[in-house]
Protein backbone atom coordinates (compact mmCIF):
# COMPACT_ATOMS: atom_id res chain seq x y z
CA UNK A 1 0.00 0.00 0.00
CA UNK A 2 1.32 3.40 -0.81
CA UNK A 3 2.61 5.45 -3.66
CA UNK A 4 4.04 4.74 -7.09
CA UNK A 5 7.31 3.41 -5.64
CA UNK A 6 5.48 0.47 -4.04
CA UNK A 7 3.60 0.14 -7.30
CA UNK A 8 7.02 -0.30 -8.95
CA UNK A 9 7.65 -3.22 -6.58
CA UNK A 10 4.27 -4.71 -7.45
CA UNK A 11 4.96 -4.46 -11.17
CA UNK A 12 8.47 -5.90 -10.78
CA UNK A 13 7.21 -8.90 -8.79
CA UNK A 14 4.37 -9.60 -11.22
CA UNK A 15 6.79 -9.52 -14.17
CA UNK A 16 9.44 -11.58 -12.38
CA UNK A 17 7.31 -14.41 -11.02
CA UNK A 18 6.08 -16.53 -13.92
CA UNK A 19 3.29 -18.19 -11.90
CA UNK A 20 1.63 -14.85 -11.11
CA UNK A 21 -1.22 -13.95 -13.43
CA UNK A 22 -2.18 -10.29 -13.61
CA UNK A 23 -5.91 -9.79 -13.05
CA UNK A 24 -5.62 -6.04 -13.61
CA UNK A 25 -2.96 -3.36 -13.10
CA UNK A 26 -3.12 -3.71 -9.32
CA UNK A 27 -3.75 -7.38 -8.60
CA UNK A 28 -2.10 -10.63 -9.55
CA UNK A 29 -2.74 -14.19 -8.36
CA UNK A 30 -0.96 -17.51 -8.27
CA UNK A 31 -3.73 -20.04 -7.69
CA UNK A 32 -1.39 -23.02 -7.37
CA UNK A 33 0.60 -21.46 -4.51
CA UNK A 34 -2.31 -19.50 -3.00
CA UNK A 35 -0.69 -16.09 -3.50
CA UNK A 36 -2.45 -12.79 -4.06
CA UNK A 37 -0.44 -9.63 -4.56
CA UNK A 38 -2.31 -6.36 -4.62
CA UNK A 39 -1.30 -2.71 -4.73
CA UNK A 40 -3.46 -0.07 -3.05
CA UNK A 41 -2.62 3.53 -3.85
CA UNK A 42 -3.01 5.92 -0.96
CA UNK A 43 -5.71 8.54 -1.12
CA UNK A 44 -5.06 12.20 -1.77
CA UNK A 45 -2.68 13.78 -2.17
CA UNK A 46 -1.96 11.56 -5.15
CA UNK A 47 -1.21 12.43 -8.75
CA UNK A 48 -3.51 10.14 -10.67
CA UNK A 49 -1.83 8.15 -13.41
CA UNK A 50 -2.94 5.52 -15.86
CA UNK A 51 -5.50 3.16 -14.42
CA UNK A 52 -6.06 5.00 -11.13
CA UNK A 53 -9.68 5.79 -10.43
CA UNK A 54 -10.32 8.25 -7.62
CA UNK A 55 -13.30 6.25 -6.34
CA UNK A 56 -10.97 3.26 -5.79
CA UNK A 57 -8.56 5.24 -3.66
CA UNK A 58 -9.12 5.07 0.09
CA UNK A 59 -7.26 6.19 3.15
CA UNK A 60 -4.74 3.44 3.78
CA UNK A 61 -5.65 3.45 7.46
CA UNK A 62 -9.22 2.49 6.52
CA UNK A 63 -7.98 -0.24 4.16
CA UNK A 64 -5.77 -1.64 6.95
CA UNK A 65 -8.77 -1.65 9.29
CA UNK A 66 -10.47 -3.97 6.77
CA UNK A 67 -7.61 -6.51 6.86
CA UNK A 68 -8.08 -9.61 8.98
CA UNK A 69 -4.37 -10.40 9.05
CA UNK A 70 -2.79 -13.80 9.69
CA UNK A 71 0.63 -15.51 9.49
CA UNK A 72 0.36 -15.53 5.69
CA UNK A 73 -0.44 -11.83 5.30
CA UNK A 74 2.30 -9.33 4.52
CA UNK A 75 1.51 -5.64 4.55
CA UNK A 76 3.98 -3.22 2.95
CA UNK A 77 3.43 0.49 3.55
CA UNK A 78 5.01 3.56 2.02
CA UNK A 79 3.89 7.16 1.88
CA UNK A 80 6.18 10.07 1.24
CA UNK A 81 6.58 11.74 -2.14
CA UNK A 82 3.06 13.04 -2.65
CA UNK A 83 3.16 14.73 0.74
CA UNK A 84 6.34 16.70 0.05
CA UNK A 85 4.55 19.97 -0.73
CA UNK A 86 2.32 19.73 2.35
CA UNK A 87 3.23 20.80 5.89
CA UNK A 88 5.11 18.15 7.86
CA UNK A 89 2.34 18.37 10.47
CA UNK A 90 -0.19 17.08 7.91
CA UNK A 91 2.17 14.27 6.93
CA UNK A 92 2.67 13.40 10.62
CA UNK A 93 -1.11 13.29 11.05
CA UNK A 94 -1.52 10.86 8.13
CA UNK A 95 1.32 8.71 9.48
CA UNK A 96 -0.36 8.69 12.90
CA UNK A 97 -3.53 7.33 11.28
CA UNK A 98 -1.44 4.54 9.73
CA UNK A 99 0.26 3.80 13.03
CA UNK A 100 -3.09 3.50 14.80
CA UNK A 101 -4.42 1.16 12.09
CA UNK A 102 -1.25 -0.97 12.10
CA UNK A 103 -1.31 -1.21 15.91
CA UNK A 104 -4.94 -2.40 15.77
CA UNK A 105 -4.05 -4.93 13.05
CA UNK A 106 -1.18 -6.30 15.12
CA UNK A 107 -3.43 -6.57 18.19
CA UNK A 108 -5.99 -8.67 16.32
CA UNK A 109 -3.42 -10.63 14.27
CA UNK A 110 0.07 -10.30 15.81
CA UNK A 111 1.57 -12.79 13.38
CA UNK A 112 0.92 -10.46 10.41
CA UNK A 113 4.16 -9.12 8.91
CA UNK A 114 4.18 -5.37 8.49
CA UNK A 115 7.00 -3.76 6.52
CA UNK A 116 7.47 -0.01 6.29
CA UNK A 117 9.36 1.13 3.18
CA UNK A 118 11.33 4.32 3.71
CA UNK A 119 11.48 7.14 1.18
CA UNK A 120 13.47 7.12 -2.03
CA UNK A 121 15.76 10.03 -2.75
CA UNK A 122 16.31 11.65 -6.09
CA UNK A 123 13.56 14.13 -6.87
CA UNK A 124 14.89 17.45 -8.14
CA UNK A 125 11.78 19.60 -8.68
CA UNK A 126 11.79 22.94 -6.90
CA UNK A 127 9.18 22.00 -4.26
CA UNK A 128 10.47 18.47 -3.61
CA UNK A 129 13.92 18.28 -2.16
CA UNK A 130 15.64 15.42 -0.42
CA UNK A 131 15.59 17.53 2.73
CA UNK A 132 11.79 17.27 2.77
CA UNK A 133 11.98 13.53 2.14
CA UNK A 134 14.48 13.14 4.94
CA UNK A 135 12.11 14.94 7.33
CA UNK A 136 9.28 12.66 6.23
CA UNK A 137 11.55 9.65 6.65
CA UNK A 138 12.29 10.65 10.26
CA UNK A 139 8.59 11.10 11.04
CA UNK A 140 7.82 7.66 9.57
CA UNK A 141 10.62 5.91 11.47
CA UNK A 142 9.75 7.59 14.77
CA UNK A 143 6.09 6.69 14.42
CA UNK A 144 6.73 2.99 13.89
CA UNK A 145 9.90 2.33 15.89
CA UNK A 146 8.08 0.68 18.82
CA UNK A 147 5.43 -1.38 17.02
CA UNK A 148 7.47 -4.45 16.09
CA UNK A 149 7.32 -3.79 12.36
CA UNK A 150 10.16 -4.12 9.89
CA UNK A 151 11.70 -0.94 8.50
CA UNK A 152 12.99 -1.51 4.98
CA UNK A 153 15.55 1.24 4.52
CA UNK A 154 15.88 2.13 0.84
CA UNK A 155 17.16 5.66 1.43
CA UNK A 156 20.83 4.72 1.06
CA UNK A 157 20.11 2.41 -1.88
CA UNK A 158 18.63 5.24 -3.92
CA UNK A 159 20.99 7.97 -2.69
CA UNK A 160 24.26 6.14 -3.28
CA UNK A 161 23.58 4.12 -6.43
CA UNK A 162 25.51 4.76 -9.63
CA UNK A 163 22.23 5.19 -11.56
CA UNK A 164 21.06 8.74 -12.13
CA UNK A 165 19.03 10.11 -9.21
CA UNK A 166 15.36 9.45 -9.77
CA UNK A 167 12.40 9.26 -7.43
CA UNK A 168 11.38 6.22 -9.47
CA UNK A 169 14.63 4.26 -9.52
CA UNK A 170 15.62 1.97 -12.34
CA UNK A 171 15.16 -1.80 -12.50
CA UNK A 172 18.48 -2.66 -10.83
CA UNK A 173 17.53 -0.69 -7.70
CA UNK A 174 13.97 -2.03 -7.69
CA UNK A 175 15.35 -5.57 -7.86
CA UNK A 176 17.67 -4.86 -4.91
CA UNK A 177 14.79 -3.38 -2.91
CA UNK A 178 12.52 -6.34 -3.68
CA UNK A 179 15.32 -8.77 -2.76
CA UNK A 180 15.53 -7.14 0.67
CA UNK A 181 11.72 -7.17 0.96
CA UNK A 182 11.70 -10.89 0.25
CA UNK A 183 14.38 -11.47 2.89
CA UNK A 184 11.94 -10.05 5.46
CA UNK A 185 9.06 -12.16 4.13
CA UNK A 186 10.94 -15.44 3.56
CA UNK A 187 13.96 -15.54 5.88
CA UNK A 188 16.23 -18.53 5.52
Residues 79 and 94: beta-carbon distance below 8 Å: yes
Residues 74 and 113: beta-carbon distance below 8 Å: yes
Of residues 149, 172, 184, 187, the one with CA closest to residue 8: 172
Q: Domains plus CATH for the chain? A: 4-185 (3.40.50)
Burial class of residue 141, CB neighbours in 10 A (0-12, 13-18, 19+): middle
Alpha-carbon distance 106 to 149, whole Å? 9
Alpha-carbon distance 84 to 3, whole Å? 12
Of residues 41, 51, 46, 141, the one with CA closest to residue 92: 141
> What one-character DSSP code corresponds to residue 49?
-
The pTM of this model reads: 0.85
Q: To which H or E segment does residue 140 belong? A: helix 130-144
Per-residue pLDDT of the chain (188 residues; tens, 9 = 90+): 888 788 899 999 999 999 999 998 889 999 999 999 998 776 665 554 555 555 555 678 889 999 999 999 999 998 876 677 778 898 899 999 999 999 999 999 999 999 999 887 765 554 456 777 788 889 999 999 999 999 998 877 777 766 666 667 888 989 999 999 999 898 76
Amino acid sequence: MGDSTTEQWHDFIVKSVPTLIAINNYMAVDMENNIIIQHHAHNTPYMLGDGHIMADMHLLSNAIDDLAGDPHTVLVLNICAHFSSFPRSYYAYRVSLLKRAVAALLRRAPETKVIIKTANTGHREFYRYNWTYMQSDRILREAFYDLGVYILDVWQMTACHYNEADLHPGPVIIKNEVDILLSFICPM
